[in-house]
Amino acid sequence: MTNHDLANLIFPNITKTMEDYEKEYPARNLKENACVTRFAPSPTGFVHIGNFQAALIDFVMAKKSGGVFYLRNEDTDKSREVDQAVEIIMQVLRYYGMEPDEYEYDGKVIGNYGPYIQSERKEIYHAGIKHLIEIGRAYPCFCEKEHLDQMRENQEKNKMRTGYYGRYATCRNMSVEEAIEKIKAGIPYVIRFRSNGNFDDRFWFDDLVRGKLYLNQNDQDIVIMKSDNLLPTYHFAHIIDDHFMHTTHVVRGEEWLPSVAVHIELFEAMGWTPPKYIHTPLILKQDGEIKRKISKRKDPEALMSYYMEKGYPVEAVIEALMTIINSNYEEWHTANPDKSFLDFDFQAKKMSSSGGALFDLEKLNNISKNIISKMDKETLYQNAYEWSKTYSDVLKNLIEQDPEYFKQIINIEREQKKPRKDYETYASIPNEICYMYDDLFEKMDTYDFQKITDKNEIATILKTYIEDYYDEQDDKDTWFQKIKELTTKLGYCADMKAYKENPEAYKGSVADISTVIRVALTTRSMTPDLYELLRLLGKERIEKRFKKFY
Ligand code: GLU
């Protein structure tokens, strides 16, 4: 009896060989140095910012080189799978403009190297495992859980490395005859890889971020197919996939670095060249004094849904991530504001390779404010409206009740050299402009009058202003001139310089008068340009708001 008999007993229906699959999935017809990258998340129902960062690098590398960026659903662990997980992943990629070139979604397979869902690839995996059994690099293991638990306990007690390797790997020495007999007798088994490695020896490999580095060789006979689930484990499945889908670069989090030893050994056992590796640094956050790994349990900003729900512009999130990917990105983009991130010369070796990369929400907020401030009103309107349709009924209603009015509001101090930076996110817009809507304004009742607090004084200022000075026809200079006249008339100082030199001589200044007008109209002491606000509100609404005070 030979390995061949064993392989046929385990996989009687697998007839295709590795050569057959090589023909089915021939080399891609791409120009030299084109990168084929993949985003290969597990269907957990969310996209972690670290995974997204890897996908962004995948996307950049493929697009820049005229290559292919594809999406593969790594669902070998069915127990972790969540409904609609693929939909969520596609949604995130599309939201950020990172449409994969190849994928399987919504009943469609796009691309010639599919299926792109691991659970649909059982046959090719089985053919791969069958091949490994035939060449003596995989074998059935009949060890029961109790035995393995006991073994582990002993290893721990004796301070030995844990795992199924060397002399602990009892089934690796079983004869083919015995294995066949056991299988025929219906004894349950898993399939293990037969490692040829020696843990005490090192092997070198090239990580494009970290450069040349070594790891201990793998000597674990890892499980490549579990009995309870006839899909292979991730370790084996992704080797088959990356080979037959012709992945050139694997971009993934540094938590995978220790697994490289077994992955490379698997590639070699199959007789294949491994892809190049880019292990991205962990994304860290500042938590008080310490920097720690951003965590999906503790930090809402660990998930991409956070940025979508908050309404950060797509460009802001990309900018913030590109900046931690390559720290010279920011400088480059400032010098080349009209270029896209795809024009940037991404360099894996410029990524931080020690201690992770700090992602700072404050910084993102600043980037976002800047980007929103530089949008022209049409763009901001379109973006905010699109976003509101999914994420904010409040904003959607504000916009829909009068799109032109909304545009005029957001256009105040926009489209100029130094535009205002009022909006951090699209979600923050309603709070910034609510006082421009009467129904919302009616619910606001905390007025921040600052210096002038006397009720009679406030009443006098407002009444005199609207009755004697305000004229909707005035241009901005005339308007301000009149505010100054009002100021003087009421015994305040219209000249800020004179006021600062001798504040005791006056009841207050033109700034205090303006503040009273501003606060009565908006409840707030900080707003965009008052002249513009007054014009947009119109005399009738101004008067109505003032009359609350007299
Ligand atoms: N499915 C793995 C994950 O979700 C992918 C690891 C890899 O990219 O090789 O982390």
User: pLDDT tens digits for 3-30?
Assistant: 999 999 999 999 999 999 999 999 999 9
- Pocket lining for ligand 1, CB < 6 angstroms: 40-42, 74, 234, 238, 250, 252, 256
CA of 149 to the centre of ligand 1 (A): 27
Binning pLDDT at 50, 70 and 90, where does residue 246 land? very high
Is the pLDDT at 82 greater than 80? The verdict is: no
User: How much distance in Å is there from the Cα of 253 to the middle of ligand 1?
Assistant: 8
Top pLDDT among 83 and 282 is at 282
Instruction: Tell me the pTM.
Output: 0.93
Ligand 1 atom 7: residue of nearest CA: 252
Residue owning the nearest CA to atom 3 of ligand 1? 41
Residue 36 in tokens: 């084929």
Contact between 301 and 320 under an 8 Å Cβ cutoff? The reply is: no
- What type of residue sits at position 333? H
The pLDDT tens digits of the residues spanning 411-462 come to 999 999 999 999 999 999 999 999 999 999 999 999 989 899 999 999 999 9
Q: Tell me how far apart the alpha carbons of residues 308 and 96 are, in angstroms, rounded to a whole number.
A: 9
pLDDT digits 0-9 by tens, 97-117: 999 999 999 989 999 999 999
297 Cα to the center of ligand 1, angstroms:
19
Q: In sequence order, which residues have a C-beta less than 8 Å from that of residue 322 and are 6 or more positions away?
A: 56, 329, 333, 341, 344
Best residue among 53, 86, 234 to mutate for probing ligand 1's pocket (most ligand atoms within 8 Å of CB) is 234
> How many angstroms separate the alpha carbon of residue 234 from the centre of ligand 1?
8
Query: Which is nearest to 70 in space by CA: 46, 36, 32, 44?
Result: 36
Ligand 1, atom nearest to 54 Cα: 8
Q: What is the pLDDT of residue 520?
A: 97
Interval between CA 421 and ligand 1 midpoint (Å)? 39
Tokens (6 digits) for 148: 């393995």
Give CA–CA dist 510/496, Å, rounded. Answer: 7
Which of 220-234, 266-280, 429-443, 512-526 shows the lowest per-residue confidence on average (mean pLDDT)?
Answer: 220-234
Residue 228: what pLDDT? 58
Which atom of ligand 1 sits closest to the CA of residue 44? 4
252 CA from centroid of ligand 1 (Å): 7
How would you classify residue 375: left for phi > 0, otherwise alpha for psi between -120 and 50, otherwise beta?
beta
Q: Domains of the chain by range and CATH?
A: 5-9+122-280 (3.40.50.620), 284-371 (1.10.1160), 375-441 (no CATH), 455-549 (1.10.10.350)
Q: Which residue has the tokens 């101004």?
A: 542
Using DSSP's 3-state secondary structure scheme, residue 105 falls into strand
Least-confidence region, from 77-81, 317-321, 482-486: 77-81
The Å distance, Cα 42 to ligand 1 centre, comes to 7
| Nearest CA among 527, 383, 512, 529 for reference residue 453 | 512
Q: Taking 60 as the threshold, does the pLDDT of residue 539 lie above it?
A: yes
> What confidence score (pLDDT) does residue 229 get?
57
Beta strands in 297-381 (DSSP E): 357-358
Distance from C-alpha of 533 to C-alpha of 519, rounded to nearest angstrom = 12
Q: How far is the CA of 91 from the centre of ligand 1 (A)?
A: 19
Ligand 1 atom nearest the C-alpha of 51 is 10
Average pLDDT, the chain: 95
The strand pair at 103-105 and 108-110 is best described as: antiparallel
What value does the mean pLDDT take over residues 468-492?
A: 96
Task: For residue 355, name the pLDDT band (cuts at 50, 70, 90).
Answer: confident
Contact (CB, 8 A) for 533 and 412: yes
Please state the atom number of ligand 1 nearest to the C-alpha of residue 38.
8
Compute, in angstroms, the gap from residue 526 CA to the centroid of ligand 1: 48
Ligand 1 mean position, distance from CA 256 (Å): 8
Nearest CA, atom 10, ligand 1: 41
The rounded Å distance from CA 172 to ligand 1 centre is 28
- Kindly give the distance from the C-alpha atom of residue 446 to the centroid of ligand 1, in angstroms, as a whole number: 52
Q: How many helices (H) and strands (E) does the chain have?
A: 24, 15
Q: How far is the CA of 242 from the centre of ligand 1 (A)?
A: 12
Which residue has the CA at smallest separation from atom 2 of ligand 1?
41
> Which ligand 1 atom minimizes the distance to the CA of 234?
1
Q: Whose CA is nearest to atom 8 of ligand 1?
A: 252
Nearest CA to ligand 1 atom 4: 41
Q: What is the pLDDT of residue 312?
A: 98
Q: How many CB atoms lie within 10 A of CB 466?
A: 18
Nearest atom of ligand 1 to the alpha carbon of 42: 4
The pick from 256, 267, 278, 296 for probing ligand 1's pocket by mutation, whose C-beta has the most ligand atoms within 8 angstroms, reads: 256
Region for 333 from its dihedrals, namely left if φ exceeds 0, alpha if ψ lies in -120 to 50, beta otherwise: alpha
For ligand 1, mutation pick of 252, 279, 282 (most atoms within 8 Å of CB) = 252
Q: pLDDT tens digit string along 394-420?
A: 999 999 999 999 999 999 999 999 999
Average confidence (pLDDT) over 387-392: 98
Q: Could you give phi then psi for residue 211, rounded to 5 degrees?
A: 80, -160
Atom 9 of ligand 1, residue of closest alpha carbon:
252
